[in-house]
Amino acid sequence: MSQEISSGLSESRVFPPSEAFLRGCGDRPHVASLDEYRALWTRSIQDPEGFWGEVARGFDWFTPFTSVLDWQCPDARWFDGGTLNACHNCVDRQVNAGHGDEVAIIWEGEPGWPSDASSAYAAAFSSSDRALSARHGHAVRHLTYRHLQEETARLANALRSLGVRKGDVVTLYMGMVPELAIAVLACARIGAAHSVIFGGFAAPAIIDRVADAQSRVIITCDGAWRRGAIVPLKANVDEACTGAPSVEHVIVLRRTGHDVPMRAGRDHWWHELVASQPSTCACEPMASEDLLFLLYTSGSTGKPKGIRHTTAGYSIFTAFTARMTFDLHPGTEQVYFCTADIGWITGHSYIVYGLLPNRVPTLMYEGAPNAPAEDRFWSIVERHRVTHFYTAPTAIRAFMKWGDAHPAKHDLSSLRLLGTVGEPINPEAWMWYHRTIGGERCPIVDTMWQTETGGHIITPLPGATPTVPGSCTLPMFGIDAAIVNERGEELPANAGGLLVIRKPWPAMLRGIHGDRQRFIDTYWSKVPGMYVAGDGARRDERGYFWIMGRIDDVINVSGHRLGTMEVESALVAHEAVVEAAVVGMPHEIKGTGIAAFVTLGPGHTGRAGDALRKELQEHVAHEIGAIAKPDMIRFTQALPKTRSGKIMRRLLRDIAAGNEVRQDTTTLEDFTVLAKLRETEE
Ligand code: WTA
């Protein structure tokens, strides 16, 4: 297992839903007690069709569905016969119901106003936002549902003018600007699938994804602001296009205003192409199982896989789980802030698709949590009276390290609920979050899920579930989660095993783009008939789940999934490296850091040392992105292998964990003795 959290066996602190939370719920929380949760969960498992049929009827349909579920493992068809549109349910529906002038998205740009006022991007601001931004010294925008409707329609028309049709895949490689959410929704509006690539990825990662999806159109920005510097998004796209012949058009949003070369015939400025389009565009009726998007994520082998999510099941499940987990109520004072990037599944599901149908403003921010200062998030919470704050354990550990003075400077009394996602949260971080950010009055929802599950699968419900630091507690409605052995037998309390889901759920992945066999092998073969998540976990005597970490060669670095193979491939692509083995190692802030063991080619052994270490780190950043930079690189004469030639990863993990960053050593290591000692154990 690549990571473990403190066992939790001795964890006895239990936090029932706080009085303060229950009092603040206005009417009442959606689920108000553990008994109510259990009754509903039991119903959702015994009668999934009745349960999900009812939930789905809360959505707007162009044609009603005729069946709820058709399940031929591993293929699920949900809500067949129906047609609907995801953008309609996020945007048009709210406008049609008379809420067009309510705020849908709040955005905070990287601080820099009013110097920003002169930039090209300022034209996108409403006059009141411009005044507000100048007053606060922060770039702030408020986008209403009506504004979203008009802007998604314009971009949708622009995409059509470039020949994009229903079923095409449009690649989005942008910074965290509202136009990224608009682009996601515009694709949904015309039935084009989007494939969002995180803006931190480098050109080779764009090439892989664009080629796999055969995307003809990329939407990008001239650049993105991060800590006062410009991330060269357009330059990366230019580099990627040389290796991605399918690309015919690139739409470029002017965000930073710096000079970027535009290639005639291929590149189009957003403000020229989009602004002149009509502001109406009917939402395309989509069949329930039509592709909504691809999102590439790391696996244990090969290149990243394009996870397929479809229109009805995904939209309905994310909107429903957002409502339950965050106890959302439209038309109240709720303001929801998720710190994720839309380039990851968390941003797809719980910034855009899950939030907008619930009519609670969703706040997105551009930049970094520690720029201009380490209180960035707390100043956002204070300024916008944020009630719901959702972030990752790695961020919480960083906040702890930065010190209590930063949150203490701000009025955080608006907060009512806190959430975490992405990796197991250690109880110390949980307690700090609870006390220092939540003032001991905010429930913490530790939400366990994956790119593949589309939405929350195990999580507390804030008005119902007593929480225990470090446990993601109980399954979501409709999720038949269990801990089993490889024969599929459920294990007794506290025994570690495989986390599986035994029944289909609406937002389950519908496949890996273009690779049926990999889909079956990865998720459906280890325990026949059950979805295997790839995580080790246990259940305690209360029935609460504790996630212990990945059981494959995926590592979770700062809540971001990375395949060790991807980093290894990047390393061996360097001229000096012959072989590389990458494993996770404990890291104070990131949860898991990246340790690489490399062997050097004959002409390069003399280069083992810090200069080459740096060069290899930069090389990996250039091949994949900065998130994949190894934290530790060790040079070795040979990698420890079993007789059958398998790298002894457990041995490497032990070594990486035992010896924290020893950047100073330049001697080559000899693993042979150690390997022989351990050979029998692997
Ligand atoms: C891990 C992110 C423990 C887990 C939404 C999973 C978690 C992988 C939690 C998916 C949590 C996510 N507690 N572990 N609350 N949430 N994980 O696809 O290992 O980027 O399999 O989706 O993150 O990562 P992904």
User: What DSSP string describes 6-58?
Assistant: ---TT----BPPPHHHHHTTTT--SS-SHHHHHHHHHHHHH-HHHHHHHHHTT
What is the pLDDT averaged over residues 590-599? Answer: 95
Q: Residue 408: pLDDT above 50? A: yes
What is the pLDDT averaged over residues 202-210? Answer: 96
Question: Six-digit token pair at 458?
Answer: 């195990």
- CB of 341 closer than 6 angstroms to any ligand 1 atom: no
- CB of 424 closer than 6 angstroms to any ligand 1 atom: yes
By alpha-carbon position, which residue is closest to atom 6 of ligand 1? 450
Identify the pLDDT of residue 665. 43
pLDDT band at residue 121, thresholds of 50, 70 and 90? confident
User: What DSSP string describes 134-161?
Assistant: HHHTS-EEEEEHHHHHHHHHHHHHHHHH
Identify the pLDDT of residue 673. 63
- CB of 561 closer than 6 angstroms to any ligand 1 atom: yes
- CB of 451 closer than 6 angstroms to any ligand 1 atom: yes
| Rounded CA separation 20/101 (Å) | 31
Atom of ligand 1 minimally distant from the CA of 459? 15
For the stretch 271-283, pLDDT in tens is 999 999 999 999 9
- CB of 472 closer than 6 angstroms to any ligand 1 atom: yes
By alpha-carbon position, which residue is closest to atom 10 of ligand 1? 450
Ligand 1 centroid–CA 481 distance in Å is 15
| Rounded CA separation 627/385 (Å) | 31
Residues contacting 497, CB < 8 A, separation 6+? 483, 484, 485, 491, 536, 537, 538
Atom of ligand 1 minimally distant from the CA of 547? 3
For the stretch 212-239, pLDDT in tens is 999 999 999 999 999 999 999 999 999 9
Identify the pLDDT of residue 8. 45
Identify the pLDDT of residue 3. 33
Identify the pLDDT of residue 113. 63
Q: Which of 468, 474, 556 to mutate to test the pocket of ligand 1 (most atoms within 8 A of CB)?
A: 556
CB 21 within 8 A of CB 463: yes
What is the pLDDT averaged over residues 347-357? Answer: 98
Q: Which of 5, 349, 449 to mutate to test the pocket of ligand 1 (most atoms within 8 A of CB)?
A: 449
Identify the pLDDT of residue 680. 53
**DSSP H/E element including 537:** strand 531-539
- CB of 552 closer than 6 angstroms to any ligand 1 atom: no
Identify the pLDDT of residue 115. 60
By alpha-carbon position, which residue is closest to atom 22 of ligand 1? 450
Identify the pLDDT of residue 116. 60
What is the pLDDT averaged over residues 475-491? Answer: 97
What is the helix, strand, coil percentage profile of the chain, to 5? 35, 25, 45
Atom of ligand 1 minimally distant from the CA of 549? 19
What is the pLDDT averaged over residues 480-506? Answer: 97
Identify the pLDDT of residue 45. 98
pLDDT band at residue 341, thresholds of 50, 70 and 90? very high
- CB of 94 closer than 6 angstroms to any ligand 1 atom: no
| Rounded CA separation 321/44 (Å) | 13
SS3 of 432, please? helix
For the stretch 141-195, pLDDT in tens is 999 999 999 999 999 999 999 999 999 999 999 999 999 999 999 999 999 999 9
By alpha-carbon position, which residue is closest to atom 8 of ligand 1? 450
Identify the pLDDT of residue 621. 96
What is the pLDDT averaged over residues 366-372? Answer: 95
Ligand 1 centroid–CA 562 distance in Å is 12
Atom of ligand 1 minimally distant from the CA of 472? 15
Identify the pLDDT of residue 647. 85
Question: Six-digit token pair at 462?
Answer: 């804030």
Identify the pLDDT of residue 644. 78
- CB of 431 closer than 6 angstroms to any ligand 1 atom: no
- CB of 412 closer than 6 angstroms to any ligand 1 atom: no
The candidate with the shortest Cα–Cα distance to 147, out of 121, 174, 126, 116, is 126
Ligand 1 centroid–CA 547 distance in Å is 9
Atom of ligand 1 minimally distant from the CA of 561? 20
Ligand 1 centroid–CA 561 distance in Å is 8
Strands 554-557 and 497-501: unpaired
- CB of 421 closer than 6 angstroms to any ligand 1 atom: yes
Q: Residue 342: pLDDT above 90? A: yes
**DSSP H/E element including 597:** strand 591-600
- CB of 464 closer than 6 angstroms to any ligand 1 atom: no
Ligand 1 centroid–CA 502 distance in Å is 18
